[in-house]
Amino acid sequence: MSIGHTLLGLLESGPRHGYDLKRAFDEKFGHDRPLHYGQVYSTMSRLLKNGLVEVDGIEPGEGPERKRYAITEAGVTDVGRWLAQAEKPEPYLQSTLYTKVVLALLTGRSAAELLDTQRAEHLRLMRELTRRKQDGDLADQLICDHALFHLEADLRWLELTAARLGQLAEAVGGSAR
């Protein structure tokens, strides 16, 4: 999963401090793997350097200064591009896809379209494996079948998620499109 894109997506709803970003990330995506503070700050420094976020304000405190980050136009474009691009179909992709779906719902983009784009990519690979299987020997067939069954499981998840977009939008406080 791309932590940079996820943090950018979370910034689309408004500027936040690094600490708020970590809390929002952990709450929505980090159930079994919360972010370290260090990861948040190193990621934000990189995004800042690349012009995808800007410092919206600085609050002095007892400890280090607290920067509030805001997403830039380039950052919004970058998130949009990431969400629209299909992931390479591979096993255990679900955490990235889940993150993309939730962010699409939160940012008013079309989660249904995102799922369809991914579905097309999965089917493209399945078609390619099926052709390889038909032309190959038994070993090829078994290897391709293994990959095909995994891709099919992913596709079933994509279908089920598409059917539950309304419910998911309610749960995360976004809107299904």
Partner 1 sequence: MTLLRAEGIGKAYGPTPALVDVDLTVRAGEVVAVMGPSGSGKSTLLHCLAGIVRPDTGAVTYDGRDLTAMSDAGRSALRRGDFGFVFQFGRLVPELTCVENVALPLRLAGERRRAAERKALEWLERLEAAGVGGRRPGEVSGGQAQRVAVARALVTSPRVVFADEPTGALDSLNGEQVMRLLGDAARDTGAAVLLVTHEARVAAYSDREVVVRDGRIRDLMGAP
Q: Does 134 participate in binding partner 1 (rule CB under 8 A)?
A: yes
d(CA 123, CA 148) in angstroms, rounded, equals: 10
Q: Does 119 participate in binding partner 1 (rule CB under 8 A)?
A: yes
Amino acid at 139: A
Site string for partner 1, 53-82 (x = CB under 8 A): ------------------------------
d(CA 155, CA 158) in angstroms, rounded, equals: 5
Tell me which residue has tokens 């699409």: 104
CA distances from 153 to 118, 146, 160 (A): 13, 11, 11
Question: Least separation, in Å, of the C-beta of 23 and partner 1?
Answer: 36
Q: Does 176 participate in binding partner 1 (rule CB under 8 A)?
A: no
Candidate residues 70, 148, 168, 172; the one interacting with partner 1 per rule CB under 8 A: 148
Q: Does 94 participate in binding partner 1 (rule CB under 8 A)?
A: no
